[in-house]
Structures are given as structure tokens and as C-alpha cells.
Amino acid sequence: MNTESFVKMLLHGAKYPHCAVNGLFVQKKTKSKNNQNENGGSPAIQIVDCIPLFHINMTLLPMLELALHQIEAYCKEENLAICGYYHMHSNLRDEKPDAFIYKLMERLEENSDGKTLLFMVDNNKLGFEEEGPPPFTVYEFRDGKLVTCNSSMKVEESAVETAITAIEDKKHYQLVDFDNHLDNISLDWRNLSILS
């Protein structure tokens, strides 16, 4: 996962610490769904961007469908593909996927060019320690079930330091998610210059 994606995800949570937040990760589009790496397995996912979705209307299907439609059109234009979904619960003790997340992951997996990962952010691990594992658990679909697969996900070394600096600089107040965009369509949900 690149630094910008990691930082945007954390900025989304920092902007709305009292709410559950969610969003999508995208990667450069691969040639085919059956593309394999040199070992014959699934190709590694290289997350290149994060798109914050909601902090209010998380389970409101018309809003979600509208957001997915716009994001899929953007991805097609930019030769990107949705490769992941992140979710931060509002409750500190709640860190497992619920029924809504499972259904959304099913839909994303059906429409993906490869595998789609779920990142469940553990709010208790957001202490911004530069050493140690990332503050999320990664899941993937296997045989119709979500199973953990943390060992393969790496975050760029500069990501934690960049996230700390961005929050100290109050960049999270500049972040735009789809709820903000739907309130004011002049706000850009892509957040292209958030770390500039």
C-alpha cells in the first residue's frame, strides 16, 4: 500500500472520530482476471489510491450505488480497478466485519478484475507507532467466506510519519468523502492534492 492511500484512510478516520467511516482502494488495472504472478499464484495487489466513501450514509444503498457508479467510471478512465474496501467502526470494541460489509465485499468481488481485500481498521491500534504491524486486519474471500490474510500486506515505510505530519497539519479537515461531495458537488472526492 502506498503512503498516500494509507494516509487518506487515516485522515478519513481522523476527520470523523465519532463516526464509522469507509472507503475503497484502487490499483492499476491488470491485464486479465486470471493473471498470475511468477509463482503461479494471484498477482500481488499494489494499492495506488484511496477513495473515502461515507461517514453518515454508510448503508444507504442508493448513495452507495451512485458512489460505486462514479468510482467505476473514474477507474475505467484512469485505467484503475477497485481492489479493496476499508471500514472503521465507530465503536472501539467493534473490529469484525458485519453483514453489510460481507454483502458489499461479495458485490465488489463479483465485479473485480482480481481479488478484492477488506481492511478492517482496529481503532485501538491507531497509536501511530512507526514499528510494528499496520493498524488493520486484512481479509479476502475464499470459498464464500472472509478469511484473514495479514501476512502479505505491506505499507510503505514513510506512511506512518507522513500520516502523523498530515494530522498535525490538520489535513484531515481538507479531506472530502462522498457524503461531502453529495452535499456540495463542487468538492472533489478524489482528494488529488490532499498531501501537497
Q: Is the pLDDT of residue 173 over 90?
A: yes
3-class DSSP state for residue 78?
A: helix
Residue 105 class from Cβ within 10 Å (0-12 exposed, 13-18 middle, 19+ buried)? buried
For 180, other C-beta atoms within 10 Å of its C-beta total 18
Q: Which set of grid coordinates corresponds to residue 1?
A: 500500500
- Which of the four pLDDT bands, split at 50, 70 and 90, describes residue 152? low
pLDDT of residue 43: 66
Q: CA-CA distance, 43 to 48, in Å (whole number)? A: 15
Q: CA-CA distance, 175 to 11, in Å (whole number)? A: 7
pLDDT tens per residue, range 91-120 = 877 888 999 999 999 999 888 877 889 999
- Which of the four pLDDT bands, split at 50, 70 and 90, describes residue 155? confident
- Average pLDDT (147-167) is 84
The candidate with the shortest Cα–Cα distance to 121, out of 25, 43, 33, is 25
**Percent of the chain, pLDDT > 90?**
57
pLDDT tens per residue, range 5-20 = 999 999 999 999 889 9
| Residue spans of beta strands (DSSP E) within the chain | 21-28, 47-54, 80-88, 117-121, 136-142, 145-148
User: Global pTM?
Assistant: 0.89
Cell 498516500 sits on residue: 4
Q: Is the pLDDT of residue 169 over 50?
A: yes
Contact at 8 Å (CB) between 160 and 132? Answer: no
**Percent of the chain, pLDDT > 70?**
87
pLDDT of residue 135: 82
Q: CA-CA distance, 19 to 22, in Å (whole number)? A: 10
pLDDT of residue 35: 47
Question: Considering the chain, what is the average pLDDT of its residues?
Answer: 87
3-class DSSP state for residue 84?
A: strand
Amino acid making up residue 9: M
pLDDT tens per residue, range 79-89 = 999 999 999 99
